A = this chain, B = another copy of it.
Amino acid sequence: MLVIGEKINVRTKLYADAFKERNFEPIKDMAIQQVKAGANMLDINIGPARKTGPELMLWLVENIQSVVDVPLCLDTTNAEAIEAGLKVHKGKALINSTSADPERLALLMPLAAKYNAMIIGLTLATGGLPRDANERCALAAEVMASAMEHGVPLEDIYLDPIMVPINGQQEQVKEILEAIKLFRELNDPPMKSVIGLSNVSNGAPEEMRGLINSTFLTMAITVGLEGAIVDPLDSMIMQSVKTTSVILNQSLYCHSYLETS
């Protein structure tokens, strides 16, 4: 299971400022904290970063990988910034992300192939959000076709069914679970999936978010989810990851299984 720490994100002012000022201290602290809590990959979200993206991503990848020994998930719409990060990344990076749009696929799949990176394929095209599990599967097929065309192994693709808030789009949440299941069952090899978890509880009362997030995560893992972008500092999240792993007999039960990472 890929547990991708979401905290280093331009939408948090602390990191937006740190990115701008090339101040590594807060970034370093958060990288170490997340890995300590159980993240085995870190998302580095620099936003669109239109101007200084490449330089910033290079600086982040080099510095973060000098303090934690995990691969990174390079999160920006700026393909040049992705490539700058891939050039210096140690181990197998995860590109976050391409949509199913032909132009984006043509831009990003070659990068995954060239740098032997994994890549997140959003089941999203220019026509807006997919309406059900079937539309998600159709868009996934386009991502997979492009991967094969560009020589990216299907094992390196993580399909993202696009998480939506249960407050407002309740009927879609069930379709997302169904899509995760179908990605595995309908394809050979069974296709992996990843979600940006927190969005499911967007707009829910603050005290309910942990419960909704961890319950959805437990359900998604049960139907085959293989990766999630999460807050690893939320203990309910890591409890869910570890307990499902024990119940699915993927890690050994012992009384102190929660304390191991």
In the assembled complex, 24 residue pairs joining A and B whose CB atoms fall closer than 8 Å, in A order, are: A166-B246, A166-B247, A166-B253, A170-B253, A171-B249, A173-B247, A177-B222, A177-B248, A204-B255, A205-B255, A208-B258, A211-B243, A211-B258, A212-B243, A212-B247, A215-B218, A215-B239, A215-B244, A215-B247, A216-B247, A218-B219, A218-B222, A219-B247, A222-B223
Q: Does A66 touch B at the CB level, under 8 Å?
A: no
With both beta carbons as reference points, the residue of chain B lying nearest to A252 in the complex is identified as B170
In angstroms, Cα B255 to Cα A44, docked, is 32
Q: Is the CB of B215 within 8 A of A167?
A: no
Mark out the residues of chain A between 205 and 259 whose CB falls within 8 Å of any chain B CB in the assembled complex: 205, 208, 211-212, 215-216, 218-219, 222-223, 239-240, 243-244, 246-249, 252-253, 255, 258
Given the contacts A170-B252, A255-B167, A219 and B216 also touching, CB distance less than 8 Å: no
Kindly list chain B residues whose C-beta atoms are within 8 Å of the C-beta of A244: 215, 219
Q: Does A50 touch B at the CB level, under 8 Å?
A: no
Report the copy number of this chain in the oligomer.
2
With both beta carbons as reference points, the residue of chain B lying nearest to A251 in the complex is identified as B170
Q: Is the CB of B177 within 8 A of A247?
A: yes
Kindly list chain B residues whose C-beta atoms are within 8 Å of the C-beta of A255: 167, 204-205, 208
| Extra contacts besides A170-B252, A215-B240, A219-B222 (8): CB < 8 Å | A177-B247, A205-B255, A211-B239, A215-B239, A215-B243, A218-B222, A219-B219, A223-B223
In angstroms, Cα B239 to Cα A97, docked, is 34
Chain A contact surface mostly: helix
CB distance from A230 to the nearest CB of B (A): 16
CB 8 Å contact bits of A172-188 with B (1 = contact, 0 = none): 01100100000000000
With both beta carbons as reference points, the residue of chain B lying nearest to A203 in the complex is identified as B255
CB distance from A238 to the nearest CB of B (A): 11
In angstroms, Cα B244 to Cα A219, docked, is 8
